[in-house]
Amino acid sequence: MFSKDGKTGAPDATAMTADAARRSAGNATHSIISRGLKIKGNLTCDGDIHIDGEVEGDVQSRSITIGEGADVRGSISSDSIRVCGSVNGQIKGQSVVLAKTAKLVGDVMHQTLAVEPGAVFEGQCRRIDSAQS
């Protein structure tokens, strides 16, 4: 093993913590919809979804990221949602972020909402209580 200073020996505590985090994260489900992939139908996942392709259908997961090149036509439901691409449909999430490259046509139901300067948002937003989500 090598340490940060390049000498051989036991790994430092930081490396051991990072390694443990990678192993525990391996139990979570991570799904990627790559650029160029087109999906017609609903997506449901227990873990994280990163979309860079096209989806025509509803998406539901624990955490969803809509990449800059993505185009989603359908509703999105998740604890954590970050939109960097194009969405045409309703979004419902505890934490919703519309990045500066986002284009959203649809309503947002949220506990927290952040809209970065430059984001395009055509619709209504409504805050929901944690008991409603």
* Residues 72-93: tens digit of each pLDDT: 999 999 999 999 999 999 999 9
Confidence of residue 16 (pLDDT cuts 50, 70, 90): very low
| Closest to 81 (Cα-Cα) out of 56, 111, 57, 55 | 111
**pLDDT for position 86:** 97
pTM reported for the whole predicted model: 0.76
Average pLDDT, the chain: 83
Angstrom distances, CA of residue 27 to CA of 22, 30, 31, 47: 9, 9, 13, 9
